[in-house]
Amino acid sequence: MKKIWFLWIAVTLLTSSCKSKNNEELKSSKPNVLFIAVDDLNNWISPIQNFSNVKTPNFDRLAKMGVTFTNAHVQAPLCGPSRASLMTGLRPSTTGIYGMTPDNQIRRLENPTTKDITFLPEYFEQNGYHTMGIGKLFHIHAPDSVFNESGGRVKGFGPYPKERFVWDGFGKGIKGKHGRTSTDWGAFPENDTLMPDHQSVNWVVERLQRKYEKPFFMGLGFLRVHVPLYVPQKWFDLYPLEDIQTPPYKSDDLNDIPNIGLQINDLPMMPSTEWAKESGEWKKIVQAYLACISYVDNELGRVLDALESSKYADNTIIVLWSDHGYRLGEKGTFAKHALWETATKAPLLFAAPNLPKGKKIEAPVEMLSIYPTLLELSGLPAYSRNEAQSLVSLMQTGTSANETYAITTFGMNNHTVKVAGYRYIRYEDGTEEFYDHNTDPNEWTNEAKNPKYTAQIEKMKGLLPKVNVIWDEKSSYTFQPYFVEHKARVNGEEKKPVEVIGADR
């Protein structure tokens, strides 16, 4: 009996020792990275704005795990150039990638800035990581061979019903001139399993159950909340129409906007706020957007559950971000495509073993900082080509919070600068906008000519990019005549007939 007793003690001690050793090895190894992109997600989620009592328990859950930036801004208010900027670590004004660029054309010999750039996932691979990705991470999915394992991406933003529910895709736009969008809203399909994002999460969940010989970098790109705003009925049921709020709006809001700003905002193929009011669809569009947010939140919860039940739970960095905001009636339309607050601001959340938990930071920051921040959190050497600073010290100690700013660019020489309390916009022809968010958070009054703000405007002018290269040959944005003409003019090209394609691909 004593022999059995001593044998049991020996086995227990040996097992405990092995577990302890394995845990120590896991803790001492490089952290894994879970890199989550959500398409077209604005700041309505509950950890930031909690707009119309949005139900996002898993965004709340992630926020409690780490740090939430409530004032993060993209480098372009458009999917393609925003994602190219984040993945290269370079500003659009440096690369000339101002519009949509095929994934495989971002890095090419003809572009002297990007020809030898190392994409974010590649940097991790070069430093000993196994890289994986699925869904929309670059504009479509990813350039060939960027990931060691690719789950690809389902084409488009379906599933689609046989007929559109509400919007015909053209609105007041002219076929062949303005393009057709995927903008529409309604309850479809029958259940979550028919959504491409659900299948992407299945792929991630399965891979979180595997054993890896190296630390991993795993990218997950959600397609929602990109239009069409279709998700199953149960997500609409969370938001009775009578309880829906609509965003602040003034019908004369654009009366003090420079002409170029009006041209950029001219989106006749999109629903206008006036149409939405008159037709009674405004609350329904907001309801659909909120439903899509809650659907993505649920899928995020599945990912967090899988991570927490895996052996990687204590040694994984999570970053969640969106490629731009989205206007749900602000400034007269339902779209991104602008240099105003609601188009440039998007969620940014980090969670990591060495970061505070449940912290919120209101200082303006850039999505461009994701690349250097992940490197520092992972203990990797800095990449000298990155044009933004890491946010680690800001998250850990709050240092430099008063010195942060964010720059967004939409076409060559159209920029906006955001600092705490203010936004400054300068267009290619020198016309300007300036907003004091302390008194005008909705950006309804352009104060660019108000002498009260002369000193602040001059200070913010000094932050504008010093380098403004012409459009990259493979980058274009044919969704609007302004951008077709703009590229032809600044690149010295012969003006060609406008061949319009939809932006929502």
Structure-token pair, residue 37: 């992109």
Residue with tokens 């950029």: 264
Angle, helix 370-377 to helix 79-88, in steps of 10 degrees: 40
Separation CA 48–CA 50 (nearest Å) = 6
Beta bridge mates, 133: 150, 219
For 382, the enclosing helix (H) or strand (E) is none
- Phi/psi of residue 277, each to 5°? -65, -50
Separation CA 472–CA 399 (nearest Å) = 37
Beta bridge mates, 68: 349, 360
Q: Which residue in the list 73, 130, 139, 226 is annotated as catalytic?
A: 139
225 by Cβ neighbours in 10 Å (0-12 / 13-18 / 19+) ranks as buried
Separation CA 121–CA 3 (nearest Å) = 55
Structure-token pair, residue 40: 């077209």
Q: Which residue in the list 79, 178, 226, 415 is annotated as catalytic?
A: 79
DSSP state string for 33-64? EEEEEETT--TTSTTTT-GGG---HHHHHHHH
Alpha-helical runs (H) found in 1-78: 2-28, 57-65
User: Does 79 participate in catalysis according to the annotation?
Assistant: yes
Separation CA 465–CA 85 (nearest Å) = 14
Which of 486, 474, 493, 500 lies closest to 412 in space, CA to CA?
486
Structure-token pair, residue 297: 């939140």
Over the Cα atoms of the chain, what is R_g? Answer: 24
Evaluate whether 180 touches 502 at the Cβ level (below 8 Å): yes
Handedness of CA 401, 345, 223, 81 (dihedral sign): negative
Q: How far is CA 114 from the centre of its chain?
A: 21
For 281, the enclosing helix (H) or strand (E) is none
DSSP state string for 107-156? S-TTSTTTTT---HHHHHHHTT-EEEEEESSSSSS--TTSSSEEEE--ST
Which of 160, 104, 156, 105 lies closest to 135 in space, CA to CA?
156
Which amino acids are annotated catalytic? 79, 139
